[in-house]
Amino acid sequence: MKKLKALLVLTGMLLLTLTLSACSAESTQQNALKRSQANNTLTWGVKADTRLFGLMDIKSGTIKGFDIDMGKEITKRVLGKKGHAKFVQVTSKTRIPLLKNGNIDAIIATMTITPDRAKVVDFSKVYFAAGQSLLVKKGSPIKDVRDLNKDGMTVLAVKGSTSAVNIQKYAPKAKVLELEDYAQAFTALKSGQGDAMTTDNGILFGIASENPSYHVVGGAFTNEPYGIAVDKQQTQLKNKIDQAIAEMRKDGTYEHLLQKWFGGIAGFDLKEASQQ
Amino acid sequence: MINVFTQHWQELLVGFGNTLLCSVIALFFSLIIGSTFAIFEVLPYKLLHIIGRIYIEVFRNIPLLVIGMFFYIVVPQFIVTLDGFTAGTIGLTLYTSSFIAETVRAGIQAVDDGQMEGARANGLTFMQAMWHIILPQAFRYVIPPLGNQFINLVKNSSVLAFVAGFDLMYQGDTIASTTFDTFNTYIVVGILYLIITLPLSYYMRYLEKKLA
């Protein structure tokens, strides 16, 4: 009798899991563009821990950065002047799941276009051409990524980012520790948990500009074209976004935004970043 | 779901092993430290009593994540470099020991006063009476709440994921974010946690029946 009971409980649990899987498979297949037009609101997933791209301003309680300004500008062009842009904080780890379950309409969160990701989401045209680089303490013996390819070297990266995968290709001997977000990865670097921190150069320049005892070394060793991601089948929304980006590049708004956020950063190449 | 298992069993195995190892280490030391502070609480010395109180109240009332982060980020800057696994395990041990101390103290106080008086009257010292007479009875009383603490400890070991401790949750996070198969990955991770906690839960129930 007891065994039977246990069996029943187990079957019940299994059934529950299967039902849940079935629910998730049938994801939100509504038209995101129509829905956002009806609400007059486009919901964006943005980073809140990344200086220059999307950083929470504690004083005002709002997120500020290049990605945010891009999101606002694109919203205006997609929904009209009165369109409202809503920003939801995401991390590299949570952004795709949140897009898939319909919590956000689009991701503009320093997201590199990769073939693997393109299988699960649709990307707009490139809006920022970044490249992966390294951040180290000034005076560190590490000059570029080859110096990291030694036993005993530890590199800090962020969970779910392309840089975590790439660094294992470029420095297979180094140990990679993946942390929750950029703030944590940088704090870990400061406490000596790793020899270098790796991610895209734009983000690293942002950190270095606030922490003068750290600098970006070795130049970019990968190409990381950033795109805006929408869920599969949301082609209408994607086309609208592409159109908005093209307009912004033409009328100078894009260059103005790039200048606003990256103009004053030493060692940052604006031309390279605006490549299409 | 099966895919996650077949393609990533190596990572999952590493995570499973680290979670198990961290849990065993933390369980062992938190039991020792917790019992020690529980005895402090019932000793007739005021100073030890105060020390025990401070220890328990500090670690019981700070979130585990904060304690783990403290050992991962702050301690290395001033004292000694700890890797994620060590930092997380220390944090988990201290956190759990404060709960175990409270549980064991309650057990000791539940043992009738006459037991201690009788033992002392028969010539045992205070520590001898504690070890041979009081503690065995106390532990028998608190097996059910202690079992809860052990299960919580295994689940709380997921704090290692936030300090790059390569535990089950950390591996699950990295698998989920490279395959984008978030749903199935976390189900697999959940099942692997159950493989540790369910037998533990049944063993504690068995002990309870056998001893009580």
The two tokens of residue A269 are 């190449």
CB-CB under 8 Å, B182 with A179: no
pTM: 0.78
Residue with tokens 């935004």: A257
Q: Give pLDDT, residue A89.
A: 92
Predicted confidence (pLDDT) at residue B180 exceeds the cutoff of 90: no
- Going from the C-alpha of A11 to that of each of A6, A16, B5, B195, the distances in angstroms are 9, 9, 20, 16
Q: Give the N- to C-terminal CA distance of chain A in Å, as an integer.
A: 68
The two tokens of residue A69 are 């300004």
CB-CB under 8 Å, B177 with A17: no
Q: Please tell me what DSSP assigns to residue B112.
A: -
Q: In chain B, where are the structural domains located?
A: 2-211
CB-CB under 8 Å, A177 with B84: yes
Interface of A with B in 67-106 (CB under 8 A): 92-93, 96-97, 100
> What distance in Å separates the CA atoms of residue A261 and residue B145, rounded to the nearest whole number?
56
Q: Which residues of B touch A165 (CB under 8 A)?
A: 178
Q: Give pLDDT, residue A61.
A: 86
A12 reaches B (C-beta below 8 A): no
Q: Which residues of A touch B177 (CB under 8 A)?
A: 92-93, 96, 159-160
To the nearest 10°, the Cα dihedral for B2, B6, B10, B14? 10
Q: Please tell me what DSSP assigns to residue B123.
A: T
The two tokens of residue B36 are 């020690």
Q: Give pLDDT, residue A29.
A: 57
Give the residue among A244, A240, A204 at the shortest CA–CA distance from A221.
Answer: A204
Contacts of A73 (CB under 8 A, 6+ apart): A244, A248, A253, A257
To the nearest 10°, the Cα dihedral for A194, A91, A130, A168? 40
CB-CB under 8 Å, B177 with A159: yes
pLDDT classification of B7: cutoffs 50, 70, 90: confident
Q: Give pLDDT, residue B198.
A: 94
Length of chain A: 276
- Tell me the pLDDT tens digit for each residue of B18-34: 999 999 999 999 999 99
Q: Please tell me what DSSP assigns to residue B160.
A: G
Go through the domains of chain A in sequence order and give each one's CATH number. 32-129+226-269 (3.40.190.10), 132-217 (3.40.190.10)
**So what CATH class is B2-211?**
mainly alpha
A253 reaches B (C-beta below 8 A): no
> What distance in Å separates the CA atoms of residue A165 and residue B79, rounded to the nearest whole number?
32
Distance, in angstroms, between A90 CA and closest chain B CA? 13
Residue with tokens 């709960």: B99
- Tell me the pLDDT tens digit for each residue of B109-145: 999 989 999 999 999 998 899 999 999 999 989 999 9
Q: What is the ipTM of this complex?
A: 0.76
Q: Which residues of A touch B194 (CB under 8 A)?
A: none
Residue with tokens 């051409």: A129
The two tokens of residue A209 are 């500009």
The two tokens of residue B63 are 């979130």
**DSSP track, chain A:** -HHHHHHHHHHHHHHHHHHHHHHHHS---S-HHHHHHHHTEEEEEE-SEETTTEEEETTTTEEESHHHHHHHHHHHHHH-TT-EEEEEE--TTTHHHHHHTTS-SEE-SSPBP-HHHHTTEEE-S-SEEE-EEEEEETT-S--SGGGG-STT-EEEEETT-HHHHHHHHH-TTSEEEEESSHHHHHHHHHTTS-SEEEEEHHHHHHHHHH-TTEEEES---S-EEE--EEETT-HHHHHHHHHHHHHHHHHTHHHHHHHHHHTT-TT--HHHHT--
Q: Give pLDDT, residue B34.
A: 95
Residue with tokens 């603490």: B149
Q: Give pLDDT, residue A12.
A: 66
- Going from the C-alpha of A26 to that of each of A19, A30, A106, B81, the distances in angstroms are 11, 11, 19, 48
Give the nearest partner residue to B162 out of A20, A100, A180, using CB atoms.
A180
Neighbour tally for A118: CB within 10 Å: 13
Distance, in angstroms, between B57 CA and closest chain A CA? 28
Residuewise pLDDT in 10s, chain A (276 residues) = 566 666 666 666 666 665 555 554 444 457 888 888 888 899 999 998 888 899 988 888 899 999 999 999 999 999 988 889 999 999 888 899 899 888 999 999 999 999 889 999 999 999 999 899 999 999 999 988 889 988 889 999 998 888 888 898 899 999 999 998 888 999 999 999 999 999 998 889 989 988 999 999 988 889 889 999 999 989 999 999 999 999 999 999 999 999 999 887 877 778 878 877
* Whether the Cβ atoms of residue A188 and residue A194 lie closer than 8 Å to each other: yes
* A230: phi then psi, degrees, rounded to nearest 5: -125, 165
